[in-house]
Structure 1
């Protein structure tokens, strides 16, 4: 068990996610990291942790989100994700851009 504060339910959830990732070909270390992050995010959403990020509380659940926000998923990245990347890269005029314009400005990735 990676976290001593996890309940038995969270430990089962962690093991299930980790096993699924390993079955899909992810390396052990990466599977453990993704599973732990997912469990910790769910704990934060449910009020089981001392601190929680704004995205943990306001975003849809990681279980429901699945691959919707992956770079190649059907929905792609969210407007907020594109805007933050544009801000980090110093793209001018990003405030007035739409999601499609931000995507073009970032090189369509």
Structure 2
């Protein structure tokens, strides 16, 4: 469990994990479900320090519907030069050209 979790978060984690195991989930899957549940609750309450995603978004989502951060992460993976100075539309065009 992460060190920034409160005692309440830890109790919730244990309860959800035990419940998932009682329903037949493996220990690893139960731990994942519990951690995701606690983190979702922390985000909902605004208690998670980092609220932004560092991901690339849903792969089925159009590029126009993604955030600039997501586009930047995609461009970074594709090693597109000059991406840090590009605007959203420029990132989209560069990603499409590279694909």
TM-score (norm 1): 0.47
Instruction: Give 1:35's aligned residue.
Output: 34
Instruction: Give 1:88's aligned residue.
Output: 60
Instruction: Give 1:8's aligned residue.
Output: 7
Aligned residues: 58
The higher relative CO (CA closer than 8 Å, separation ≥ 6) is in: 2
Distance in 1 between the 2:9 and 2:61 partners?
A: 37
| 1:44 partnered with 2:27 | no
Unaligned segments of structure 2, at least 5 residues: 63-99
TM-score (norm 2): 0.52
Unaligned segments of structure 1, at least 5 residues: 55-83, 91-109
Q: Which has the higher helix share?
A: 2
- Cα RMSD for the two superposed structures: 2.3
Distance in 1 between the 2:51 and 2:40 partners?
A: 8
CA offsets 1:17-47 (integer angstroms, 9 cap, x no match): 0000000000000000010011011001111
Runs of 4+ in 1 over 2 A off after TM superposition: 51-54
Instruction: Give 2:24's aligned residue.
Output: 25
User: CA 1:6 to 1:89, structure 2 compared with 1: closer, same or farther past 3 Å?
Assistant: closer
Instruction: Give 1:104's aligned residue.
Output: none
